[in-house]
Amino acid sequence: MEFMRISGIFAFMKKLVIVGCGQLAGIVSDAIVSGILPDYDLVGVYSRTTAKAERLAGKMDQHGKVCKVCTSMEELLALKPDYLVEAASPAAMKEFALPALKNGTSVVTLSIGALADEKFREEVISTAKANNTRVHIVSGATGGFDVLRTAFLMGNATATFFNEKSPYALRGTPVYENSLLTEKKVVFTGNAKEAIDLFPTRVNVAVAASLASVGPEKMQFAMQSTPGFVGDTQRVEIKNDQVHAVVDVYSATPAIAGWSVVNTLLNITSPLVF
């Protein structure tokens, strides 16, 4: 951990690394160079596509910040980062999380779907406890985790999650068929655990909402394909004997997920936490 001097006061800088160097990681790096995240120093990046990592590191270099392009998990963790931002995939989360936590590195993850695996989730929890580290689950394209958690803690809660997508967003998945281009259709119903198993990279927010409330097996999930629709609608609803809450979020692009990482990083170091 390095430090900077501000008005005679030494403030510790948090060393940050990123796994996955696409659009969402770019939002985080831009927040660092623009001064939105002044408490962080991006020291390393890793991507299976080296060119993406080099492009992100080059952006940091242009602003006088040294950022290493790493070619392995071992090289990345050898930088001894305080935080690792995972913006790649549930598979990457499963690969990096435990070694990072054992390394003394806390994890900020967008691939919450990996935690629908109960065995892996328990390993993550026990490893974090043993190494005084944490996994920060970001809200991504949904929100209201505080309300969901509170309503769940009150007892006797039920929860549902609805996701609306364009048929084009479902290409390459088991539910896609050409008729979706002209026909509105509910293409999946089940629970959040079943949903992430079928759509490994497309319903992480549903798993996040379930972990904040009733759990992946009890969170009822439905996905609708709508012709001509652009973006995503995420609607989570929770009820108990005293509370009925609905969090309804539409996002035209995935950018909100990257900004939710920025917000989480701000909360980690801010004296006021939202």
How far is the CA of 2 from the CAs of 123, 209, 266, in angstroms?
Answer: 30, 35, 18
Residue stretches of the annotated binding site: 141, 204
Structure tokens at 247: 């969090």
Q: Which amino acid is at 5?
A: R
DSSP result, 24-84: HHHHHHHHHHTTSSTTEEEEEEE-SSHHHHHHHHHHHHHTT---EEESSHHHHHTT--SEE
Query: Phi and psi for 166 in degrees, rounded to 5?
Result: -75, 145
Place of tokens 């989570």: 236
Residue stretches of the annotated binding site for NAD(+): 141, 204
